[in-house]
Structure 1
Amino acid sequence: MYQTRTKKEKLLLLVKIVFPILVTQIAMYMVTFFDIYMTSRYGTEDLAGVSIGSSFWVPVYIGLAGILMSITPIVAQLMGAKKKDQVKQAVQQGIYLAILLAAIVFAFFYLGIDYLIAFMDLEPTVADVASRYIFAMTIGLLPLFVYNALRSYIDALGATRVTMVISLLSAPINIFFNYLLIFGHFGFPELGGPGAGLASAITYWLILVIAVWIIHARSPFNSYNIFRTWPKLSLTRWMEISRIGVPIGISIFVETSIFSAVTFMLAVYGTVTIAAHQIALNFASLLYMLPLSISMGATILVGYEVGAKRLQDAKQYSWLSVGTAVSLSFLSACVLFFMRSEIAALYSADPVVVELAVQFLLFAALFQLSDAIQAPVQGALRGYKDVNITFVMALISYWVIGLPTGYLLANFTDYGAFGYWIGLIVGLTAGAITLSLRLLLIQKKLQHVQPKIINSKP
């Protein structure tokens, strides 16, 4: 990364950083996307089972993996402050923490998933698929968490093209093993939905191996000697990572779990509704990779400028990221609105499922703008290391405002299952507004602090 002086230079650097992240995010999400898509081609009951399973899996994994995202602003600020000698220890302690988090999640799912699924009124076949899908996914927990730590390190150095290349390899690998294990081709067992989970686990192990090789052998990563001379566990460094990462993880968990909660609540409407809801959510999540990638780029660039004490540049990157995401959100909304019938038909041949999915996709188009604002604003706030108030705002927006609104509309109006999606729109909008106000407050506060720091220098 380098210092920029004009808005044009900043936009070009933003694109340079974000584009590889976007490709990476899409490629990584394609693992889940093709799990859902290829399972939907196998059967409606398996699709419903994988939907329920992923609704448990995604928020728990993403929430805890979010803790490791703190490595990005930590390393970015170290690089901006010319403290490269501290990067190695930060990354190594992050890897230790990744292993611990993987063990915690494995224990949670291994010991508790059957009890959690038993509380839901699911058809026996759907419940069985959900349980076996999650167990298969846990095989890939360790490589997935460690890869997240390594990826945060790579991205913080501005080498987002490297993670792009690694992630691009994950999609064809996953598709190949899905083909073998879901449908049972070439002598492999026909596992249906659970086969998608096993295919994902195999994919995670392979991309970790690739990432480790690149960091060990390629410049500039090998100059930091990440895999040599491992230190003892450092509670001080863990506290630094956790102090930033835990609020990030909780914030992400709060946001992703709201979608899972809606999936659980829709279970009472039957297998067809769950399947249609998952189709709409799956494709909308794919489009969300765009503002999410801009968010991650904002964290890197804002963190770098804050570390270098260039607060005006950090401010410009923040709002440039928001403006870029908002502009592109209109394109995403148009894709969902005008092509919703074609999108639904890609997933299922069941006309009832397709008809219902088309209606869900219409609501998905409506929350594109809110997503485009709240995601990059959160990314900018993480670059400032302002994460504590953020997760409180997210909690209130999604769980105190969004979910209750959806419940009331679903159960006390004629909207039915669609009421929950209206609640999602309300929650996302509330989050976009409150987080934007928080970013303005932080920038205003720092603007008054910096002159005092400069004037106090001898």
Structure 2
Amino acid sequence: MEQTFTQVEKIKQLWIIFTPILITQLAMFSMSFFDIMMTGKYAAHHLAGVAVGSSLWVPISTGIGGILLSITPIVSHFIGANQKKNVSFSVLQGVYTAIGLALLIILIGGFSINPILNAMNLEYDVRYVAKSYLVSISIGVIPLFIYNTLRSFIDALGKTKVSMFITLMTLPINLILNYLLIFGKLGFPEFGGIGAGIASAITYWIVTIIAIVFIHTQEPFTKFKVFHNLPRVSFKKWKEILQFGIPIGLSIFIETSIFSAVTLFMSKYGTIVIASHQAALNFTSFLYMIPLSISMALTILVSYETGAKRFKDAHSYSFLGITIGVSISFITGVLLIIFKNKIALLYSSEPEVIALTSRFLLFGAFFQLSDAIQAPIQGALRGYKDVRVTFIMAIISFWIIGLPLGFILANFTILEPFGYWVSLIIGLAIGALTLTARLLYVQKKQLIEQGQHNISV
């Protein structure tokens, strides 16, 4: 990364950072995307089982991943402030933190998976697939969280193309493993949806090993000597990572878990509705990778500029990111409405599932605009290291307003399961408005402080 002076230079740098992140996110999400799509081609009850398992796993994995995202602004801030000697220690403590969090998640999951699934109104086959899928995924939890940390370090240096290259190397492996293990091809056992979990776990190990090799052998990573010495665990550094990362992780968990909670509430409507809901949610989540990637790019650039005390530049990047996000998401929303029937065909050949998925996708199109505003703003706020208020706003908009409203609409109006999707749209819109107000407040405050500092100097 380098300092920019004009809007054209900023757009170019933002695009250079954003594009590889988007490709990486699409490739990473494609693992889940193809898990759902390929399992849907296998059987509806396997699709429902993977949907339930994914609904429990995704909020946890993204929430913990959010905690480890704190490495990105920490490292970017050091780079912007020209304090490069602090980078290696922070990254390794992030790896230690990732391992500790992974072990904690595995332990908690071992005790809670049966009670949670047994409490749900699921058919036996669906419950069996969901549990087995989660157990399979757990094999790859430790490497996945380590990779999240290493990728945060790679991206913080502005080398987002490296993350893209690593992920693209492993995506074909995941697809091949899915094909072999879901459908039992070339002599492999036929696991159905469970095979998707096994394939993902193996892929997590592979992508982590590749990332370690890159960091240890390629410039500019080698100059930081990340793996040359292994320092002792520093609980002081853990505290810094967690104090900054936990609000980020909880905000992401709050947002993703609301979608999972909706899936669990929909279990009362039967296997076909669960399968259709999950298929539509899977595709809209795929589109969400666009504003999410802009968000991650803004975290890198805004933290870099604030580290260098260039607050006006940070403000410009925030505005550009939101503008680009809204423009792209408007286009994807229109395309989603036009091609909803063809998209539904990607997930199932069963007429009932196709029809319901198309209807859910129509509601999903309206997610795009709110996502395009709130996701980039969250990224900018993380760059400013302002994360606690975002967490509180997420709780209010999704859990205090969104989910209760969804329950009312689903149970006391003709909307039924679609009522939850209407409430999600409302929750996202409220989140976008409140986050906009917070970003404007933070930016105004920093510009005032910078002005006072310049006067005193």
Question: Normalising TM by the smaller chain, what interval?
Answer: over 0.9
Corresponding position of 1:394:
394
Cα distance in 1 between the residues matched to 2:193 and 2:272: 16
| Structure 1 residue runs without a partner (length 5+) | none
Contact 1:52 1:130 in 2 (8 A): yes
Cα distance in 1 between the residues matched to 2:439 and 2:270: 42
Deviation at 1:111, TM superposition (A): 2.0
Corresponding position of 1:303:
303
Corresponding position of 1:146:
146
| 1:245 and 2:240 are equivalent in the alignment | no
Contact 1:143 1:208 in 2 (8 A): yes
| Partner deviation per Cα, 1:116-164 (whole Å, 9 max, x = no partner) | 1000010000000000000000000011000000000000000000000
In the alignment, residue 219 of structure 1 is paired with which amino acid? E
Contact 1:31 1:170 in 2 (8 A): no
Corresponding position of 1:265:
265
Corresponding position of 1:423:
423
Deviation at 1:21, TM superposition (A): 0.1
| 1:438 and 2:438 are equivalent in the alignment | yes
Corresponding position of 2:196:
196
Corresponding position of 1:100:
100
Contact 1:133 1:197 in 2 (8 A): yes
Cα distance in 1 between the residues matched to 2:234 and 2:315: 33
Cα distance in 1 between the residues matched to 2:381 and 2:305: 13
In the alignment, residue 399 of structure 2 is paired with which amino acid? W
> Tell me, what secondary structure is at the counterpart of 1:186?
coil
Deviation at 1:319, TM superposition (A): 1.0
Deviation at 1:342, TM superposition (A): 0.1
Deviation at 1:456, TM superposition (A): 3.1
Cα distance in 1 between the residues matched to 2:202 and 2:24: 18
| Partner deviation per Cα, 1:370-402 (whole Å, 9 max, x = no partner) | 000000000000000000001000110111111
Contact 1:28 1:170 in 2 (8 A): no
Corresponding position of 1:225:
225
| Partner deviation per Cα, 1:393-427 (whole Å, 9 max, x = no partner) | 01101111111111111111100000000000000
Cα distance in 2 between the residues matched to 1:370 and 1:50: 27
> Tell me, what secondary structure is at the counterpart of 2:349?
coil
Cα distance in 2 between the residues matched to 1:442 and 1:278: 37
Cα distance in 2 between the residues matched to 1:111 and 1:227: 34
Cα distance in 1 between the residues matched to 2:175 and 2:204: 13
Corresponding position of 2:335:
335
Deviation at 1:452, TM superposition (A): 2.0
Contact 1:24 1:168 in 2 (8 A): yes
For 1:36-51, what aligned pairs fall within 5 Å after superposition?
36-51=36-51
Greater shift after overlay, 295-304 or 445-454?
445-454
| Partner deviation per Cα, 1:265-289 (whole Å, 9 max, x = no partner) | 0000000000000110000000000
Cα distance in 1 between the residues matched to 2:434 and 2:10: 26
Corresponding position of 1:448:
448
Contact 1:280 1:344 in 2 (8 A): yes
In the alignment, residue 42 of structure 1 is paired with which amino acid? Y
| 1:134 and 2:150 are equivalent in the alignment | no
State the TM-score, normalizing by the size of structure 1. Answer: 0.99
Corresponding position of 1:88:
88
Aligned length: 457
Displacement over 6 Å in runs of 4+:
none
Cα distance in 1 between the residues matched to 2:314 and 2:294: 14
Contact 1:61 1:105 in 2 (8 A): no
Corresponding position of 1:379:
379
| 1:56 and 2:56 are equivalent in the alignment | yes
| 1:120 and 2:116 are equivalent in the alignment | no
Corresponding position of 1:161:
161
In the alignment, residue 339 of structure 2 is paired with which amino acid? M
Deviation at 1:453, TM superposition (A): 2.0
